[in-house]
Amino acid sequence: MLYNATNPILSGDKWGYIMISGSYILFSLVAALFALAFAMILTKRVLKADPGNAEMQKISNATREGAMTYLKRQYMAIIYFTIFMIMVLTIIGPETVIAFALGAGLSAFAGFIGLNIATKANVRTAEGARQGLNKGLRIAFSSGAVMGLSVVGLGLLGLSIMFIFLSAAFDNDLEQVTTVIAGFGLGASSIALFARVGGGIFTKAADVGADLVGKVEAGIPEDDPRNPATIADNVGDNVGDVAGMGADLYESYVGSIIASMALGYVAFRHGDLPIEAILLPMVIAAVGIFSSIIGTFFVRTGERADQSELLLALRKGIYLSAVLVTVFSLLAVFFILGEAHIPVFGAIFAGLVAGIIIGISTEYYTSDTYTPTRELARTSQTGAGPTIINGLSIGMKSTMFPMITVGAAILTAYYFAGLYGIAISAVGMLSTLGITLATDAYGPVADNAGGIAEMAHMDKSVRKRTDALDSLGNTTAATGKGFAIGSAALTALALTVAYMDAAGITDISLTDPSVIVGLFLGGMLSFIFCAMTMQAVGRAASEIVEEVRRQFREIKGLMEGTAEPDYARCVDISTKSALREMILPGLTAVVVPVVVGLLLGPYALGGLLIGALVTGFLMAVMMANAGGAWDNAKKYIEVGHYGGKGSMPHKAAVVGDTVGDPFKDTSGPSLNILLKLMSIVSLVFAAFIVQNTIAG
């Protein structure tokens, strides 16, 4: 037991305290910097790969420029938002402002890194796939790993720095430190709001817009270079699935650590291990980084690999990391908290296992190798109506495993380590994020590579290989979505518990009518938020439709291939509408908790957070899985079942997919943000609300 000592705070041993905390923080810093260094090495490796011929590069550059334009605009919007938030946060304190700025800044930086590498890796993946499947996989996966490792590296780096800064600022007052560090999470959440909601609206507006006019009206294939919205569609894949997903998980990652710190302090403050309990989550995250990096080395496959072997290659990496993190966490708990607190490991392990089970459940409900999606494809023979009903039913039924799994994880974690256990189980679930996010962020790169292969008229064998990579990407994306939702739910719960503690309400009873009303309002917010984001996609898509129609009409020679469409204009329109449309749902998420807290009191606010959590979690799972099932049922028909492309069942399946698009890529994922953002807003403003509420 290296660092186990009697509580140096209680004994007034300041230097003992600094030594103990210093060791853990140092370890976290090393892990974080190691992750970033490794991400840099991978970046160089990806960039060294052959970027293909001029035509390919031209297409890739257009996507890249579009993505960067979007990012620039988004960051401008974020700056305004940040100024507003900083003004508001001064009522909490200057340290919170600094924490907020750092949390937001690092998240934005991680998004930039991910988007940068993804838009450079796509063309290299296409060129790599020309040379061989394994080469394509390595490049795409490396690009994903850059994103994954940047997220965890910057997350842990930022938290380590904040901890040092706040310890100094508050003279090692752990209560202050663990309270104010929540500002860092609020910063992360704010960026996630923009990246996930704005990105989600962008990607689906471009996608739907491109399809409606291109495929349906003009009758040209997907990814056809004559379609003015095709670059916007590619950009959307990157800003939605890479930057959006990354920011979402960055938020969960730092949120779960922050909640564990706060609850670790609460649980151990009167014992002799407060600093150990507070820093354990950072150490778990650190060992998770090392485990993830080791795991990435095992992602490779033979040249003639079929899809299941490709999947196996990715799985090998993930499962190996999970095993490693299990062993390391056990050691960490043993050496840091000591033998008596070994049960804390049970909580971490429960979270880790829950994450894996939710991933498997998502795959079952959305992959065309299993009954639900196949049944859905069969239903499409009876028309669009039954396809919608059955898809919604699948989505609703698919909530069973995730809810029960997370429920079991909560009970297990609590059994082993109380409320602290619930928070640290979320850290356990997210500990292998470095590699799980890599397998996830790899998908859009493969997808884009396929688009480039199509647009640059590369050999059919290339498209076939990128399709194999992409199809795999769809499976891992589905699993990743389940994982993102599960971790968001657990993180939001942990943050909510931390909020309750910060507000000093240990007992928030269901027999209190304001709590019931809070639950009603929270559930309602999830529904309203969904409706707002779905309708936002509809409005934004119709603007793209107008523009594409205009270009087809006005640009002469476009359809004949003699003139070029104005790609940039579609990107521009999507950007503007995405940023405009996210204002209302975004403001709702930030403002409503504070208003409810001030008007109905902190108890009602607790109810609101839990109500939003229960309903939002259900809706997020339902939407992700229904959307995934519709998507894959359509693809299942497209490969030749039930009449294939253009048949009546296919038309019905396309209706399903149209509904599923905003479900799975906009509204569903945005709910993750809603839950976490509302709970961290409440946590940060807890004391303010308690002091200023007008409720009795």
User: In the window 619-658, what residues touch a second copy (CB under 8 A)?
Assistant: 622, 654-655, 657-658
Distance of alpha carbon 57 from alpha carbon 62, whole angstroms: 8
Q: Does 682 help bind a second copy (rule: CB under 8 A)?
A: no
Total of residues contacting a second copy (CB under 8 A): 72
Q: Which is nearer to a second copy, 108 or 596 (CB)?
A: 596
CA distance 69 to 575: 8
Residue from 41, 168, 342, 411 touching a second copy (CB under 8 A): that is: 411
The yes or no reply on residue 302 touching a second copy (CB under 8 A) is: no
Report the residue from 300, 386, 598, 643 that binds a second copy according to the rule CB under 8 A: 386
Amino acid at the residue 158: G
Q: Of the candidates 132, 302, 385, 561, which one interacts with a second copy according to CB under 8 A?
A: 385
Residues in the chain, overall count = 696
Is 514 one of the binding residues for a second copy (CB under 8 A)? Answer: yes
Binding mask 211-250 toward a second copy (x if CB under 8 A, else -) reads -x--------------------------------------
Instruction: Measure the CA–CA gap between 606 and 683, rounded to whole angstroms.
Output: 10
- Residue (47 or 599) nearer to a second copy, CB: 599
Assess 197 for contact with a second copy (CB under 8 A).
no
Least Cβ distance, residue 634 to a second copy (angstroms)? 12
Q: Does 410 bind a second copy (CB under 8 A)?
A: yes
CB distance 289 to 35 below 8 Å:
yes
List the alpha helices (DSSP H) in 513-601. 513-554, 567-581, 583-600
Cα dihedral 687, 691, 693, 696 sign: positive
Per-position x/- string for 75-114, each x denoting binding to a second copy as judged by CB under 8 A, each - no binding: ----------------------------------------
Determine the interface stretch with a second copy among 164-172, 278-286, 414-422, 636-644 (rule: CB under 8 A). 414-422
Q: How far is the CB of 260 from a second copy (least distance, A)?
A: 16
Tell me whether residue 220 or residue 648 sits nearer to a second copy (CB atom): 648
Residue 148 vs residues 249, 296, 376, 672: alpha-carbon distances, Å: 9, 11, 33, 18
- Which one among 513, 557, 561, 644 touches a second copy, defined by CB under 8 A? 513
Helices assigned H by DSSP within 269-306 = 274-296
The span from the CA of 65 to the CA of 630, in Å, is 32
Q: Is 371 near a second copy (CB under 8 A)?
A: no
Alpha-carbon span 257 to 182, nearest angstrom: 10
Residue 81 token pair: 């938002």
Sign of torsion, CA 354 360 364 370? negative
Choose the stretch contacting a second copy; rule: CB under 8 A; options: 120-128, 148-156, 342-350, 382-390: 382-390
Q: Which stretch binds a second copy (CB under 8 A): 70-78, 88-96, 170-178, 492-500?
A: 492-500
Counting contacts by CB under 8 A, is residue 397 touching a second copy? yes
Single residue of 46, 493, 592, 671 touching a second copy by CB under 8 A? 493
User: What sign has the CA pseudo-torsion 348, 349, 351, 355?
Assistant: positive
If 0-12 CB within 10 Å is exposed, 13-18 middle and 19+ buried, where does residue 171 land? exposed
Cα dist from 150 to 117, 187, 300, 437, 644, whole Å: 11, 17, 21, 10, 42
Which residue in 2, 303, 511, 691 binds a second copy (CB under 8 A)? 511
Task: Specify the residue, 47 or 531, whose C-beta has the smaller distance to a second copy.
Answer: 531
| Residue 346 or 523 having the CB closest to a second copy | 523
Identify which range of 141-149, 300-308, 408-416, 426-434 contacts a second copy by CB under 8 A.
408-416
Of 303, 507, 554, 560, the one binding a second copy (CB under 8 A) is 507
Q: Answer yes or no: are the C-beta atoms of 398 and 371 closer than 8 Å.
A: no
CA distance 498 to 423: 9
Q: Is 675 in the site for a second copy (CB under 8 A)?
A: no
For 128-159, b where at least 16 C-beta lie within 10 A, e where not — what string? bbbeebbbbbbbbbbbbbbbbbbbbbbbbbbb
The stretch among 114-122, 289-297, 462-470, 525-533 that binds a second copy (CB under 8 A) is: 525-533
The reply to whether 389 sits near a second copy by the rule CB under 8 A is yes
Stretch that binds a second copy, among 41-49, 293-301, 532-540, 681-689 (CB under 8 A): 532-540
Q: Can you tell me which of 6, 11, 371, 509 binds a second copy, judged by CB under 8 A?
A: 509
Restricting to residues 32-51, name those near a second copy by CB under 8 A.
none
Whether residue 673 contacts residue 191, with contact meaning beta carbons closer than 8 Å, is answered with no
Which one of 422, 424, 492, 589 is in contact with a second copy (CB under 8 A)? 422
Give dist(CA 382, CA 47) in Å, integer: 50
Stretch of residues binding a second copy (CB under 8 A), selected from 86-94, 289-297, 499-507, 670-678:
499-507
> Among residues 35 and 573, whose Cβ is nearest to a second copy?
573
Q: Is 417 near a second copy (CB under 8 A)?
A: no
Using alpha carbons only, what angle is made at residue 499 by residues 484 and 22, rounded to the nearest 5 degrees? Answer: 80
On whether the CB atoms of residues 417 and 351 are closer than 8 A, the answer is no
Terminal-to-terminal C-alpha distance of the chain? 49
- What CA–CA distance (Å, rounded) separates 42 from 435? 13
**Burial of residue 68, with CB atoms counted within 10 A of its CB: 0-12 exposed, 13-18 middle, 19 or more buried:** middle
* Residue 315 vs 635, nearer CB to a second copy: 635
- Is residue 382 a contact residue for a second copy (CB under 8 A)? yes
R_g (Cα) of the chain, nearest Å: 24
The correct pick among 69, 176, 542, 647 for binding a second copy (CB under 8 A) is 542
Binding segment for a second copy among 223-231, 343-351, 386-394, 477-485 (CB under 8 A)? 386-394
674 binds a second copy (CB under 8 A): no
Q: Does residue 396 interact with a second copy by CB under 8 A?
A: yes
244/193 Cα distance (integer angstroms): 9
**Of the candidates 5, 40, 294, 403, which one interacts with a second copy according to CB under 8 A?**
403
Q: Among 129-137, 220-228, 383-391, 548-556, which window interacts with a second copy (CB under 8 A)?
A: 383-391
Least Å distance, CB 615 to a second copy, is: 5
Least Cβ distance, residue 617 to a second copy (angstroms): 7
Contacting residue, 524, 555, 584, 690, with a second copy by CB under 8 A: 524
SS3 for 418-482, per residue?
HHHHHHHHHHHHHCCHHHHHHHHHHHHHHHHHHHHHHHCCCCHHHHHHHHHHHHHHHHHHHHHHH
For a second copy, the binding residue among 74, 379, 474, 670 (CB under 8 A) is 379
Contact by Cβ (8 Å): 679, 206: no
Instruction: Please identify which residue in 191, 358, 392, 441 interacts with a second copy, judged by CB under 8 A.
Output: 392
